[in-house]
Amino acid sequence: MLYVYTVYLNIAICKVFIICALKRHSSAMTYDNIYKMFIVDGTYKGQALKQNECFIIAKPYGSDDDHLFGGDSNSYIKLKNNLLSVDIVAETSGGGASGAASGAVLGFLLLGPVGTVMGAGLGSAKKGSNMLAITFANGDSWIVDKVTPIELASLKRYLATAKISAPKTTLSPGNKQKAASKKQSTKLAIKKPKKPSKDFWNLKHIKGRDPYDDKFKMPKISKSPFLAKWENIEGLDKKAKLILDRMIRYRYEGYCEYKWVYFDEYIESEKELDLLISYTVKDLICDTNLLAKKRIDIEVSEEDIKKFDIKLIKLDAELKEAKDELLAAGFFSKGGAKKKIAQVQDGVDEIKKLIAKARRKIKSSNKSINDSKHITDIKDPLNEFLSIFDKILPDIKKPDLTFKKRPGTNDQEFHLIYLSLFDEIWDKKISDEKNRIKEEEKKKKILKVKKVDDKKKISEPKSNKERLLELKSLLDDELITSEEYDKLKNNLLNSI
């Protein structure tokens, strides 16, 4: 009798504790037993979720709205005004009578006859499950499995009452802060700078890149594909082509240094090189014309020297005659003779100065000709350079063959080239940057669609035909034996 009383007393105490626990954690127990869903694939705040992470629908303390709770981080994710779409990917059946029976047994063991009714209700509530594709307002998307109709109804209810719409941005999915920062960085990436001053001497070099500093060192310049544009051109004089090639490469390095020192850039367009070639050919034409002028100067100077020598001989004779007159002159006539001697001597000195000047000019001209031997060795340098110019740059106006004066120093030439192409270069850079961004967005969009398609393919159940063909493929590839194939095939056919 005492034993029976003790048993009933223990049962009563258990009922009290269980009822209190149910009252305090009724929602948690309900969600733990019924409202479960498992992650197949997805992201939370942009970070990938692990497969089979569990989430339940629950109300946080002090809130009247349902939230998704769970995962490795035990986070609450609100449902109100946070859902963009809830789509059924696949549907399976389950639960039913077996669930009700197991729930009734558990309820009887805990609460007696009353618990039988409650347990049966809990067990039979899960009549089937679904696989869903859920998209949230911040761009996260989930594929979840084992979602009950009750959970689906709750999600649909919050979706129907949501006061948000899908974002209209063409950027890749992400939260608003990321999208805003990405848009801002895109604008900065294609910003066009102010056009430099026309006066080269007003330019300021980038800090640490003073070309007049002894410690200045230009980084190694990679060979540009533009430099090879005339390598395959035939019919050029080898000596003229060699001279032009050497001078263009020298100017190319100088132009790259100019852009790097003042603008942190390198040569970016073929037109820049075309203008460098144009200036180089003009310089060679100028040098050729100057050499021709030097030869003429030598000829003129030699002729002048001959004329001066004749004059000098006459003046020497006059000087000798004047000196003889001085010796024969009386006391009162010596003054006139001395004056005549002084005048003739001044003429002699002047002629000697002119002869010396002419000789210096001949020497300087000969030195210039010898220094330009690379040009003088060419039979007809002027026409050869012009021929090269026509073949390399057929669309650019031919230079004047009488050109004899350079526009300025190399740096000034470089500055004129950059200024003339500044707008064209930067417009192209902006266009290329926009196209690059569009291509990136297009690729991301394609990857996103492909990812969704792959998820759908994974979630969609295979047909019996596909499963049979897959078994046959495994047999053909000798991944399974004939006995295993027959067994699996029979199991599959029996399940149809």
pLDDT tens per residue across span 267-323: 888 888 888 888 888 888 888 888 888 889 999 999 999 999 999 898 888 888 888
256 and 390 share a domain? yes
CA-based angle 95:96:102, to the nearest 5? 75
370 or 169, higher pLDDT: 370
- Look at residue 434 and tell me if it is in a domain: no
Q: Where do we find the tokens 């030439």?
A: 413
* pLDDT (average), residues 409-420: 86
| Gap between the Cα atoms of 301 and 295, Å rounded | 10
Identify the residue whose tokens are 């009700």: 100
Give the residue among 174, 393, 117, 162 at the shortest CA–CA distance from 271: 393
Which of 70-74, 117-121, 192-196 shows the lowest mean pLDDT across its residues?
A: 117-121
Does a structural domain hold residue 224? Answer: yes
The reply to whether 363 and 475 lie within a common domain is: no
Pairing of strands 75-78, 54-58: unpaired
Q: Which domain holds residue 483?
A: 464-495
pLDDT at 19 over 70: no
At 40 the three-state DSSP class reads strand
From residue 348, give the alpha-carbon distance in Å to each of 304, 338, 343, 344, 354. 15, 15, 9, 6, 10
CA gap 250, 242 in Å, rounded? 12
Please indicate, yes or no, if residue 213 is contained in any of the structural domains.
Answer: yes
- The verdict on residue 425 lying in a domain is no
Alpha carbon distance 401, 456 (integer Å): 73
For residues 102 and 152, state if they share a domain.
Answer: yes
> 220 with 367, same domain?
yes
Quickly state the pLDDT bin for 86 (edges 50, 70, 90): confident
Total domains in the chain come to: 3
Q: Among positive and negative, which fits the CA dihedral 472, 476, 478, 481? A: positive
Measured at the CA of 261, the angle between CA 258 and CA 265, to 5 degrees, comes to 80
Of the candidates 323, 322, 314, 300, the one whose C-alpha atom is nearest the C-alpha of residue 348 is 314
Interatomic CA distance for residues 143 and 89, integer angstroms: 8
Residue from 272, 283, 285, 258 nearest 407 by CA: 283
Which residue carries 């102010």 as its tokens? Answer: 194
What is the rounded average pLDDT of the residues 436-452?
80
